[in-house]
Chains A and B, each alone.
Chain A
Amino acid sequence: MYEIVEKYEEVPNVHRLVVREPNIAAKAQPGQFAILMADEQSERVPISIVDTKDDTFTMFILELGISSAKIVNMKEGDTLEAVTGPLGMPADLGKYGRVVLGGGCYGIGAIYPLARALKELGNEVVTIIEARSDYLLYFQEELKAVSDEFFVATSDGTEGTNGHVQDVLVKLIRDGERFDHAKFIGCTYMMMNCSHITSPYRIPTKVALNTIMLDGTGMCGCCRVSVEGETKFACVDGPEFDGHHVDWDELMKRKSSYLMEEMLAYQTAPHTCKALEKAYSGDSK
Chain B
Amino acid sequence: MLVINGNQVPYEEGKTILEIARENDIYIPTLCAHERLPSFGACRMCMVKVHGNKGFMNACTTKVKDGMVVTTESLEIKRLRRSIFELILSEHPSSCMMCAQAEHCDKFNSGIMKAGVITGCNTCPNKETCELRKISDALNFKTIRFPMFYKHLPIERNDPFFDRDYNLCIHCGRCVRVCQDVEGASILVFTHRGHDTKVGTSFEKPHIETDCKFCGQCVDVCPTGALSARNQKWYETPDEQVSTTCLLCDKGCRFQIDVKWGRMVGMRPDPEYKTLETGICVKGRFCLPVLLNNMDRLRFPRIRRNFKLYPTNWDEAAAKVAEIFENYPPSKIALYISPFLIDEADYLFTKIASDLEITNIFRSKEDLTNINKKGIKVLYTTEGLPNLDKYKSLEKIILQEVFSADGHDFADVILPAAAFTEETGTITTNHGIMTVEKVVKAPDLALEDWKIVAKIAQELDLSGFKFIETSEIQGEMKRLGIKGKTRGVEEHYLKYRGTAIADKVPDFKILIEARKERDKLW
Contacts and interface: CB of A to CB of B under 8 A. Distances in A.
Nearest to B101: A164
Contact of B95 (A154, A187, A262, A274): A154
A272 interface: yes
A58 B199 CA distance: 37
A267 B289 contact: yes
B234 interface: yes
Contacts of B112: 252, 255-256, 259
B148 A158 contact: yes
A148 interface: no
A262 B114 contact: yes
B96 interface: yes
A136 interface: yes
Interface residues of A, number: 47
Interface in B280-319: 289-290, 293-295
B109 interface: yes
B148 A134 contact: yes
B58 interface: no
B117 A260 contact: no
A12 interface: yes
Interface string B136-149: 00000001100110
A135 B116 contact: no
Given A164-B101, A275-B514, A263 B234 contact: yes
B489 interface: no
A90 B348 CA distance: 69
B166 to A, nearest CB: 13
Interface string B147-167: 110101000011110000001
B115 A273 contact: no
B238 interface: no
B263 A260 contact: yes
A72 B115 CA distance: 12
A261 to B, nearest CB: 10
Given A252-B112, A266-B230, A272 B101 contact: no
B474 interface: no
A18 B290 CA distance: 35
B487 to A, nearest CB: 27
A271 B263 contact: no
A133 B115 contact: no
Nearest to B167: A12
Nearest to B146: A158
B108 A192 contact: yes
Given A13-B116, A259-B112, A155 B99 contact: yes
Contacts of B144: 156
Contacts of B160: 273
A270 interface: yes
B116 A69 contact: yes
Nearest to B158: A274
Interface stretch (A36-44, A60-68, A78-86): A60-68
Contact of B99 (A132, A135, A252, A256): A132
A13 B208 CA distance: 25
A273 to B, nearest CB: 5
Nearest to A156: B95
A252 B93 CA distance: 25
Kindly list the 4 A-B residue pairs having the minimum CB-CB distance in the complex, ordered from nearest: A63-B116, A156-B95, A155-B99, A132-B95
10 contacts: A12-B167, A13-B119, A136-B119, A162-B100, A163-B100, A252-B112, A255-B112, A256-B111, A268-B295, A275-B208
Interface of B: 93-96, 98-101, 104-105, 108-112, 114-117, 119-120, 143-144, 147-148, 150, 152, 157-160, 167, 206, 208-209, 230-231, 233-235, 260-261, 263, 265, 289-290, 293-295, 506-507, 510, 513-514
